[in-house]
Amino acid sequence: MEKTIIRSERLGIEVCRIKHDSGLTMLLCPMEGFSTAYAAFTTKLGSVDTRFKTQDDADFVDVPEGVAHFLEHKMFENEEGDAFARYAKTGASANAFTSFDRTSYLFACTDRFSESLEILLDFVRRPYFTEASVQKEQGIIGQEIRMYDDSGDWRVMFNLLGALYHNHPVRIDIAGTVESIAQIDHELLYRCHRTFYHLNNMVLCVAGNFTVGQVLEVAGRVLKPDAKPVEIERGRVDEPDSICQPLVEQKLSVATPLFHFGFKGVSSGEAGNLKNQILDEMLCDLIAGEASPLYRRLYDAGIINATFGTEVMAGRDYMCAIFSGESREPEKVAEQIREEVAALRRDGIDREQFELIRRATYGRYIGLYSRTEPVAGLMCAAHFAGIDDIFSLLDVIANATLEQMEERLRVAFDPEKSALSIVRPQDSETGGTVE
């Protein structure tokens, strides 16, 4: 067992990184004075992993869209019942999620931590699928997919991703389609579990009220090494630099038009994307954050309201910056953002405004390191990006320069690589202001 301590003198906290004898990497951050503990057991399998091969495969395997999400749903069941029922006895609050890049199983608790951790490490490693249970789940997830197909908030986002990306699977709904999940059977689920739920492909991140000794004691009892390491090669996607289409519109049962306006960025690898995500978040604030002149103009004119926000989506080989909200004039919002970006690219970023945003971002990230769930999330993201020191993300902000930001603006916010997604009311009329 290998053990490394990563300490931040600035924050006064430390992370214990352990390579367990089972093959599992553990990132453990005991936080003195906290009453709760948060644990996440995560595998590097997400919705974009639709093509892969191992060292034992002669060729790549193509799997149906939505298989990672389907597998997440099924993992809570086994011969002994439901994992949620086991958690109910310890009082822990448990959940799971599938993103584009990973699947995570998690819980939060105030006591009986060791018992809850044992449940987590046990059920995620013991799959139980039958033909009948898979068919039942197909109906359940099929209903979920249909529900999201009618959700304006969901459709406006994925319509934007479909406009930005030609071929990358990030454009596909995480749950897949009714047609794709119909191709999933129990044998495929077992194969995906053997491949991606191998302990060398997973990480356990824990933050809050616990001790390293508790984790090691439970892991020593529950985790056994896999028979042999699995080397996973993921299929590459031929994705052009250009966007797929500049505008996509849909009508659904919404009260006010919803919009997502995004810029297609350039991938710099997993570590580069994670660091650039922070810089691009700062740029989004400079362009149209609440303290920006553009935000004030749009808000005072009634073109946007308090739902307006920004987000940077970054993963293994994709990233994009998104501006979203409600507006009766979404085209005008997109036009104003394009013009603001063009002006900043032409005239440069105001140094005083840059310093204000840099300090505000630094303060926001300091706040993240003082909460259990974000600390676990940052540890997981850094690990899968190949970054050993999660505290180095603060250095990205502290060391950011005006020249660096202007270069990011040129690379990641190209008006020629922007697209607008609008979901309008079914009886919509354009024009007007947002109340």
Which has more confidence, 230 or 403? Answer: 403
Q: In whole angstroms, give the CA distance from residue 347 to residue 378.
A: 35
* Backbone φ, ψ for residue 139 (5° rounding): -70, -40
Q: Please state at what angle helix 330-347 crosses helix 269-288, rounded to 10 degrees.
A: 100
In a domain, 382, yes or no: yes
> How many domains does the structure of the chain reveal?
2
User: Do 98 and 13 have their domain in common?
Assistant: yes
* 332: pLDDT strictly greater than 80: yes
**129 belongs to a structural domain:** yes
The pLDDT assigned to 322 comes to 98
| DSSP notation for 170-212 | GGS-TT--HHHHTT--HHHHHHHHHHHSSGGGEEEEEEES--H
Question: Which residue among 234, 260, 292 closes a domain?
Answer: 234
The answer on 261 and 220 residing in a single domain is no
Average pLDDT over residues 28-49: 96
pLDDT at 335: 98
> Where a domain ends, among 234, 269, 284?
234
Asked if 256 and 324 sit in the same domain, the reply is yes
- Measure the CA dihedral 44/45/50/51, to 10°: 40
pLDDT band at 1 (very low <50, low <70, confident <90, very high): confident
Read off the pLDDT of each residue in 60-72 and give the average, rounded to a whole number: 95
pLDDT-derived band at 245, boundaries 50, 70, 90: very high
What one-character DSSP code corresponds to residue 1?
A: -
The answer, yes or no, to whether residue 288 has pLDDT greater than 90, is yes
Greater confidence (435 vs 366) lies with 366
What's the half-sphere exposure (Cβ side, CA atoms, 13 Å) at 42? 28
Amino acid at 319: M
* Residue 178 sits in the same domain as residue 271: no
Q: Nearest to residue 211, comparing CAs of 403, 18, 340?
A: 18
Alpha helices in 75-130 (DSSP H): 83-90, 113-123
pLDDT at 429: 61
Residue 45 has pLDDT above 50, yes or no: yes
pLDDT digits (tens, 9 = 90+) for 308-318: 999 999 999 99
pTM of the entire structure? 0.93
Structure tokens at 386: 């190949």
**Model confidence pLDDT, tens digit, residues 6-22:** 999 989 999 999 999 99
Confidence of residue 435 (pLDDT cuts 50, 70, 90): very low
On whether both 41 and 159 belong to a single domain, the answer is yes
57: domain CATH number?
Answer: 3.30.830.10
Domain that holds residue 108: 2-234
Q: Could you tell me what percent of the chain has a pLDDT over 90?
A: 92
Give dist(CA 225, CA 21) in Å, integer: 7
Q: Is 433 domain-assigned?
A: no
The answer, yes or no, to whether residue 109 has pLDDT greater than 80, is yes
Q: What is the pLDDT of residues 130-165, one digit of tens each?
A: 999 999 999 999 999 999 999 999 999 999 999 999
Say whether 339 is catalytic: no
Which is the catalytic residue, given 14, 65, 72, 118? 72
432 pLDDT above the threshold of 70:
no
pLDDT at 365 over 70: yes
Domain shared by 228 and 252, yes or no: no
Residue 101, pLDDT > 70, answer yes
